[in-house]
Homo-oligomer: A and B are copies of this chain.
Amino acid sequence: MTYELHYWPTIQGRGEFVRLALEAAGAPYIDVARSAADSQQGAAALQSRLHDRGLTNPPFAPPFLKDGALVIGQTAAILQHLGPALKLVGRSEQARVWTLQIQLSIADVVSEAHDSHHPIASGLRYEDQMPEALRRASDFCRVRMPKYLGWFETILARNPGGSRHLVGGKLSYADLSLFQLVEGLRYAFPRAAQVALVGTPAVMQLRDRVASQPRVAAYLRSPRRIAFSEQGIFRRYPELDLP
């Protein structure tokens, strides 16, 4: 059973949260738009798939996953679906909903990180909304990022299964997503992230533990891992970081 991941071919973006889960589980998948001869062709194929009038359940936007006849969009819904098959979520309904809840809070930070460089419109360039971005990013670095990271630290500390994982005593897709969030924040806002992460040692230890997980480590060294860039969600514009 080979999964098909559909996402923009040249950025990590939200697709990366799904890719990390598939990679960490060693699941067979095709990264469809990246399998095209070139990335323009890949992006065109993705667009035509997205607007396929034959789809009963068309996704609103990438990423989406094809699992047999099922087509699923929205990162957190994809992970909610994949979790049991990839053994990246606890079996109980309680573990599944708590993992989903954490994932949704990660998704909220990701959206806020995106809006720190695009506070007005995703259809406009960064250069066309820079004054607004400077204000929004300042609030994100000083208020929102520390608040979210503090919450992750709290739930790690309170996990009855121990602070090595977010949920119970095993790796879940939420751990992988928190790793990706921390990496993204450190890329985009090196100074602000360093300040915030000093206060959240358990989050940083989780990030290190995920990075050294054998399948994840092999993936991160491979050409399958796209580099962070100023086209993705996490962008390094030094003027948006703490001074």
Contacts and interface: CB of A to CB of B under 8 A. Distances in A.
Question: What's the interface size class on A, roughly?
Answer: 35 or more
B94 A70 contact: yes
Contacts of A98: 57, 72
Interface in A128-180: 129, 132, 135-136, 139, 143, 148, 151, 154-155, 158-160
B139 A121 contact: yes
Contacts of A159: 56
Interface string A35-68: 0000000000000000000011111100000000
A136 B155 contact: no
A232 B178 CA distance: 30
Interface stretch (A76-84, A202-210, A217-225): A76-84
B123 A101 contact: no
Contacts of A160: 56
A120 interface: yes
Given A57-B155, A94-B70, A148-B60, A120 B132 contact: yes
Copies in the complex: 2
A173 B121 CA distance: 29
Nearest to A111: B111
A120 B104 contact: no
Nearest to A124: B139
| Chain B CB within 10 Å, residue with most, of A74, A93, A160 | A74
A143 B121 contact: yes
A104 B132 contact: no
Contact of A60 (B105, B120, B121): B105
Q: Lowest 10 CB-CB distances: which A-B pairs, in order?
A: A121-B139, A74-B104, A77-B101, A74-B101, A77-B100, A60-B105, A120-B135, A132-B132, A81-B97, A119-B119
